[in-house]
Amino acid sequence: MAITIVPPPILEAFGLDCTHYKIERFGSGLINNTFKLSNNLGRRRDEFILQRINTHVFKNPEAILENHRRASEYLAAHHPDYFFIAPVPLKDGKFLLNWHGDYWRMLPFVAHTFSVNEASEPLQASEAARQFGRLAHNLAGIDLSQFIPTIPNFHNLTLRYSAFQSAVSDADEERKERAAELIEAFEQHSRIPITYEELKTDGDFPDRLMHHDTKINNVLLDDKTGEGVCVIDLDTLMPGKLISDIGDMVRTYVSPVSEEETDFGKIIIRDDYYEALMKGYLPEMGNTLTNTEKEMLFYAGQFMIYMQGIRFLTDFLNRDIYYPVRYPLHNYNRAKNQLTLLQRLDEKESVLKKIIRKYLK
């Protein structure tokens, strides 16, 4: 349920006087309820972002703040000049408020920045990728054993593929018949989940602390220069594989249209955006990439596009129980959209791998 009013005791728990703040809904996020707190005394440094965490999505909100805190402390100790948004503590020193069963956290508001929901020029893609690469590089030495998955199996393609196969077996005949060509097309790409299964046990393909949601609106850009400032929305900061972050950027940056587009002829791979992405990300990672990770950079796009496609198709076959839909074939069309994007990516494999090699040097 969306919250439209913030009770005064919540601000007081963070040591703020509610009479000194204007509170307004903020951003376009669909998961958490987000508010901007503006100091009505005119002190820009005293502006904050306040969020109620969606516990239907994040079953363990304590893990979110604990992961965030550990990353913040590590970066402050090992990369003190790196700009990372640390959580704001409560008066009792903790970082998460449980108020009548709702969980709240507070972050500093970063002034003179903006975000975009879609990349409208290659520079934006490059700057966003640079920020995600810098974060991954700076966290490369952290002890992963202390981090808790905030969404278990979030990018586990083995699990997603198994769910897809079960949905095909259990679907009613009408939906199965309607989706027959899509089912066959995704099955023809089964090498993608097989490769993932092989990579999970490859000693040269390490776990890293990954963001797991590298859409471009999770980077703040400078409102004057357009340069990347910092990464935001760290709810899914948890151990994972490099292909998650690279793949999600490929999936969401390189096509001029989103997964909602039903004019499939508009789905293309923009070489200049793909190059901007790799130009931003790979130099930041420096020499931390293993040989296997380098070999899997093109596969990363296949991995994420395929996984999202079968998730949409699985939901269609399961009668639309997970993703909100606006019309009967909504998930079917989303799956077809992602299959088309995967096909366009494969068609440009040689061109895109040449771009990757250029920025690995």
| C-alpha to C-alpha distance for 329 and 338, rounded to whole angstroms | 14
pLDDT at 172 over 80: yes
Q: Which long-range contacts (CB under 8 A, 24 or more apart) does 331-335 make?
A: 332/178, 332/179, 332/182, 333/262, 334/259, 334/260, 334/309, 335/179, 335/182, 335/186, 335/309, 335/310
- Residue 329, judged by CB atoms within 10 A of its CB (0-12, 13-18, 19+), counts as middle
Residue-wise pLDDT for 214-241, tens only, equals: 999 999 999 999 999 999 999 999 999 9
Query: In sequence order, which residues have a C-beta less than 8 Å from that of residue 3 and are 6 or more positions away?
Result: 33, 52, 102
| C-alpha to C-alpha distance for 322 and 222, rounded to whole angstroms | 36
Confidence of residue 18 (pLDDT cuts 50, 70, 90): confident
| C-alpha to C-alpha distance for 274 and 297, rounded to whole angstroms | 12
The rounded mean pLDDT for the chain is 94
What domains appear along the chain, each with residue ranges and CATH number?
8-111 (3.30.200.20), 122-360 (3.90.1200.10)
Residue-wise pLDDT for 121-152, tens only, equals: 999 999 999 999 999 999 999 999 999 999 99
Rg, Å, the chain Cα set? 21
| C-alpha to C-alpha distance for 246 and 242, rounded to whole angstroms | 6
User: Angle formed by the axes of helices 191-199 and 157-170, to 10°?
Assistant: 140
Residue found under tokens 């109620």? 52
pLDDT at 357 over 60: yes
- Contact (CB, 8 A) for 119 and 228: no
Length of the chain: 361
Q: Where are the alpha helices (DSSP H) in 217-259?
A: 242-253
| C-alpha to C-alpha distance for 274 and 192, rounded to whole angstroms | 20
- Contact (CB, 8 A) for 95 and 87: yes
Report helix, strand and coil shares of the chain as percent, to nearest 5: 50, 10, 40
| C-alpha to C-alpha distance for 360 and 139, rounded to whole angstroms | 20
Residue-wise pLDDT for 246-304, tens only, equals: 999 999 999 999 999 999 999 999 999 999 999 999 999 988 999 999 999 999 999 99
What local confidence, expressed as pLDDT, does residue 57 receive? 83
